[in-house]
Chains A and B, each alone.
Chain A
């Protein structure tokens, strides 16, 4: 089937680095996207990887390896405000280009 797997919860310490993985089982797709959602808020777009490799945006980086069916979001210098849920998503090349979502990873940051 077509699915994306993420850990349900990750805990890290303020100031540290954390990696949130996203593994997928899907045939051809456009790139991998990441979204952040704070409790009670709406999801907001973080990053997009069209090609294999690392994309950096400030403290956040995202990586994609199509050969390994794997991607991750890397958050550096963690701040308390980074406590949120993070979702990965891909848009399929077939089936009317439907967007497939991971179940989300809740990031808990401790002082």
Chain B
């Protein structure tokens, strides 16, 4: 079955602009989570959605927001971009069921460059 699809793969923006990133999870998966990763850094958790509800949120400013649609597709938005927002943004989907491996399947990411 198809994997997690993120669009766009690459994008360049300037400071002050906003950006919307999209993620289509694996069919049947109800949970989508988003991560920010900068070079040499770990996975910084942004938020997690399950059945259109935000289940968890990381320690990011309010400029970072997200949502999940009824078909489980998710979008994240970053407003008023700053240079420090340049990063790889990863989306991961899972079944959302708790108590088991809860294996996350990651997309290839959207690489954002802010100039």
Contact = CB atoms under 8 A, between A and B. Distances in A.
Interface residues of B, number: 22
Interface stretch (A14-22, A68-76, A93-101): A93-101
Given A33-B103, A42-B90, A91-B98, A103 B42 contact: yes
Interface in A35-93: 35, 41-45, 48, 50, 87, 91
A99 B55 contact: no
B56 interface: yes
Given A43-B90, A101-B42, A95 B56 contact: yes
A99 B106 contact: no
Interface in B19-54: 33, 41-43, 45, 48
Contacts of A104: 42-43
B109 interface: yes
A96 B103 contact: no
Contact of B33 (A95, A99, A102): A99
A20 B74 CA distance: 34
Contacts of A31: 101
A42 B103 CA distance: 14
Question: For A42, A87, A102, which residue has the most chain B Cβ atoms within 10 angstroms?
Answer: A42
Question: For B41, B98, B102, B108, which residue has the most chain A Cβ atoms within 10 angstroms?
Answer: B102
Contact of A101 (B43, B48, B107, B109): B43
7 contacts: A30-B99, A42-B108, A43-B104, A91-B98, A97-B56, A98-B45, A99-B48
Interface of B: 33, 41-43, 45, 48, 55-56, 90, 92, 98-109
